[in-house]
């Protein structure tokens, strides 16, 4: 059963969620994109269309962008999180989902995280990503936030096409691409017959090409011809999601409770350990033992190439590597884990958000260890 692969990815810590705005209002508390498109078209006397991007493009002609911005705010301002949002938060929190990408405009998922007291970093532009706490899950609002930042909105057809040329979001888009390349992905709340989803595919998902890992989308009753089209694009269609997030029903298979994570090494603060673990998962080649070993050809860490531990999943591989390197140092007394962070940093473009994260963690860990005294010899 296809859902077994999703459940396995959740258990291994390699599942990313993409959440769209096409679910019905009865479920989310806000109109779907198609419902908003029809309402916006009626308000401005235009031919109705299921594509919000097309209608907004027409409304926005001649500098009238404010018209659909005000409309969106009116549609969303009185909404509150629903059971659907709370179920997503519970799944993400209980099983350590690290990346969630939302193309909904309502911001209700963020509020559901806040209501549950679950820390999450919410970003839609690079300036936010630069100061995000690395030990928290990342919620990327890919199409912006109309209530907090109207300039961030991606609504019209031109907005969609310009998204990948927006320098203010280069690092955020790198995070989206990285999520596709390193995780099994579940698309939830996307009407795959909607023209706007094809825009998303062409401008975001298609850019990952053959590099993206296995992906699934939940959309009941999609015609067989459409199922085949999306299969060619690398996305398998499911009639329902494995955990009943949409209907709250019985799961296809209930995921077990996550294993208790191993404790941080005794002299590393737990918060720093979580930051390092998250950065390595996001920025390093930990998807397999085979992918990781070439990294250790670098002379700074080649000393530990032949002693790297094997593991069955990315999260286990990261944890084993941290434990293996933390109490080791080279002949000059530099900690092996610090060296690993530096190697990864130096192999990353300076424009990539990972560069700054790895650099900051390498310095923080190095300062900590120097304050405690030298680590154990190799």
Q: What count of other Cβ atoms lies within 10 Å of the Cβ of residue 42? A: 11
What confidence score (pLDDT) does residue 264 get?
52
Which residues on adjacent β-strands are paired with residue 185? Answer: 16, 215
Q: pLDDT band at residue 376, thresholds of 50, 70 and 90?
A: very low
Higher pLDDT, 303 or 194: 303
pLDDT digits (tens, 9 = 90+) for 314-351: 778 888 999 899 989 999 999 999 999 999 999 988 87
In this structure, what is the dihedral angle of CA atoms 195, 197, 198, 201, given to the nearest 10 degrees?
Answer: 170
Contacts of 287 (CB under 8 A, 6+ apart): 14, 182, 314
d(CA 48, CA 259): 50
Q: What is the pLDDT of residue 299?
A: 93
Give the residue from 82, 38, 39 showing the smallest Cα distance to 247: 82
| Burial of 324 (C-beta count, 10 Å sphere; 0-12/13-18/19+) | middle
Q: Over the chain, what is the mean pLDDT?
A: 82
- pLDDT for the residue numbered 196: 61
Do residues 157 and 53 lie in contact, with contact meaning Cβ atoms separated by under 8 Å? yes
3-state secondary structure of 235: strand
**Integer angstrom CA distances of residue 135 from 71, 277, 308, 366:** 36, 8, 24, 18
Token pair of 42, please?
Answer: 């009626």
Specify the pLDDT at position 178.
Answer: 84
Residue 251 has pLDDT above 60, yes or no: no
- Indicate if the alpha-carbon torsion angle 158, 164, 170, 174 is positive or negative: positive
User: Phi and psi for 29 in degrees, rounded to 5?
Assistant: 85, -5
CA distance 260 to 222: 39
Least confident span in 70-74, 99-103, 160-164? 160-164
> Above 50 in pLDDT, residue 250?
no
Categorize the per-residue pLDDT at 78 as very low, low, confident or very high, splitting at 50, 70 and 90: confident
217: β partners: 187, 237
Average the pLDDT over 235-256 and give the result: 62
Place of tokens 């530096």: 342
Q: What is the pLDDT of residue 147?
A: 77
- Model confidence at 296: pLDDT above 80: yes
For the residues of 331-351, what is the DSSP string, one character each?
TT--BHHHHHHHHHHHTS-TT
What's the half-sphere exposure (Cβ side, CA atoms, 13 Å) at 158? 7
> For 128-154, how does the pLDDT look when each residue is reduced to its tens digit (9 = 90+)?
988 888 778 899 999 998 878 888 888
- C-alpha torsion 283→287→290→293, nearest 10: 30
Quote the pLDDT of residue 2: 61
Which residues pair with residue 100 across a beta bridge? 17, 139
- Return the pLDDT at 374: 47
Q: What's the CA gap between 283 and 287, in Å, rounded?
A: 11
Task: Give the pLDDT score at 108.
Answer: 93
Q: Is the pLDDT of residue 101 over 90?
A: yes
Mean pLDDT, residues 9-29 taken together: 88
- At residue 248 the predicted structure's pLDDT band, cuts being 50, 70 and 90, is low
Half-sphere exposure in the Cβ direction for 204 (13 Å, CA):
28
pLDDT at 268: 81
Predicted TM-score (pTM) of this structure: 0.65
Q: Is the pLDDT of residue 253 over 60?
A: no
Which among 197, 299, 235 has a CA at the least distance from the CA of 6?
Answer: 235
Least confident of 13-17, 83-87, 127-131, 161-165: 161-165
The model's pLDDT over 167-216, given as tens digits with 9 standing for 90+, comes to: 888 899 888 888 888 889 899 988 776 666 766 666 656 655 554 578 89
Neighbours of 267 (CB within 10 A): 12
**Alpha carbon distance 240, 130 (integer Å):** 36
Helix, strand and coil content of the chain, in percent to the nearest 5, comes to: 50, 10, 40
Query: What CA–CA distance (Å, rounded) separates 98 from 17?
Result: 9
More confident call, 41 vs 191 = 41
């Amino acid at each position: 059963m296809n859902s077994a692969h999703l459940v396995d990815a959740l258990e291994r810590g390699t599942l990313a969620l993409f959440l769209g705005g096409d679910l019905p209002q009865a479920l989310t508390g806000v109109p779907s994109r198609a419902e908003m498109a029809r309402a916006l078209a009626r308000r401005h006397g235009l031919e109705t269309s299921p594509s919000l991007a097309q209608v907004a493009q027409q409304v926005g002609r001649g500098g009238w962008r404010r018209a659909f911005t005000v409309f969106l705010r009116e549609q969303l301002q009185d909404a509150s999180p629903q059971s659907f949002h709370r179920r997503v938060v519970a799944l993400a929190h209980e099983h350590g989902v690290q990346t969630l990408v939302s193309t909904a405009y309502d911001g209700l998922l963020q509020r559901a995280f806040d209501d549950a007291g679950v820390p999450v970093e919410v970003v839609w532009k690079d300036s936010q990503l630069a100061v995000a706490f690395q030990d928290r899950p990342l919620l990327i609002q890919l199409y912006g936030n109309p209530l907090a930042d109207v300039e961030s909105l991606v609504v019209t057809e031109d907005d969609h096409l310009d998204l990948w040329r927006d320098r203010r979001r280069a690092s955020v888009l790198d995070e989206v691409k990285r999520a596709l390349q390193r995780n099994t992905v579940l698309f939830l709340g996307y009407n795959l017959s909607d023209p706007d989803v094809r825009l998303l595919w062409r401008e975001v998902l298609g850019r990952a090409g053959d590099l993206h890992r296995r992906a699934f989308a939940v959309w009941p009753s999609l015609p067989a011809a459409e199922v085949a089209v999306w299969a060619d694009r690398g996305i398998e269609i499911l009639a329902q999601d494995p955990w009943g997030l949409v209907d709250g029903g019985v799961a296809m298979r209930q995921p077990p409770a996550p294993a208790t994570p191993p404790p941080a090494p005794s002299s590393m603060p737990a918060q720093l350990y979580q930051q390092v673990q998250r950065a390595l998962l996001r920025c390093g080649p930990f998807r397999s033992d085979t992918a990781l070993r070439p990294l250790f050809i670098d002379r700074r860490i080649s000393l530990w190439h032949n002693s790297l531990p094997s593991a069955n999943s990315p999260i286990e591989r990261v944890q084993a590597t941290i434990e293996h390197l933390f109490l080791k140092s080279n002949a000059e007394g530099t900690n092996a884990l610090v060296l690993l962070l530096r190697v990864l940093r130096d192999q990353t473009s300076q424009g990539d958000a990972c560069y700054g994260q790895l650099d900051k963690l390498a310095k923080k860990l190095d300062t900590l260890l120097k304050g405690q005294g030298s680590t154990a010899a190799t």
